[in-house]
Amino acid sequence: MSKSAQILHEVAITAIIHRGPKYLIIQRSRSKKRFPTKWTVPGGKLETSDYTSLPKDTKDYWYNVLEKTLRREVKEEVGIEIKDVEYLTSLATVHQDGAPSLVISCLAKYKKGKVKLQPEEADDFAWVTLKEARKYDLIDGIYEELVMAERKLSGKSAIWKR
């Protein structure tokens, strides 16, 4: 590794939550630093306390950290429970403030609960079909992730592409 290589990334995980033929999308709060008022899917950042506060699963490691983080973030952000979390895709970016991010996008089934938004996180929500999602001002790339989810749910190959 070169001396100039940066190792530390912000790690986030998101959920494309489906309930029947519809997907949950949320409108980011106006007060958000990144992508205010844009529509996206629920999720959030991995915090070290997501695993360090728990006993290790083996002598040295915690397992299923991302899945546990995603369940926590979805419950906090939109008030519902999810199940059957599956990897969908990942993306990386360097934000305008210089912070590098790695985002892991997952597909998950709605389990239970009524959507109740955390005000500092989201201003609105909608359960939408893929066709309806086109009418929303989505963060760049989210529509293609919804397409991937739809393909995966119908048993087809799901590779991100535009």
Please report whether residue 122 resides in a domain. yes
Q: Is residue 117 a contact partner of residue 111, using CB atoms and an 8 Å limit? A: no
Residue 61 confidence (pLDDT) = 95
Residue 116 confidence (pLDDT) = 96
Let me know if 38 is exposed, middle or buried by CB neighbors in 10 A (0-12, 13-18, 19+): middle
Residue 90 lies in domain? 10-153
Please report whether residue 162 resides in a domain. no
Q: Which residues pair with 80 in a beta bridge?
A: none
121, two tokens = 């996180």
Q: Which residues pair with 106 in a beta bridge?
A: 15, 87
Please report whether residue 159 resides in a domain. no
pLDDT in tens, the chain (162 residues): 455 555 577 899 999 999 999 999 999 988 888 888 999 999 998 888 888 888 999 999 999 999 999 999 999 999 999 999 999 999 999 988 888 999 999 999 999 999 999 988 999 999 999 999 999 999 999 999 999 999 999 999 888 887
Please report whether residue 2 resides in a domain. no
Please report whether residue 161 resides in a domain. no
Domain count, the chain: 1
25, two tokens = 């999308």
User: In this structure, what CATH number is given to the domain that contains residue 114?
Assistant: 3.90.79.10
Please report whether residue 48 resides in a domain. yes
* CA-closest candidate to residue 145, choices 119, 110, 116, 106: 106
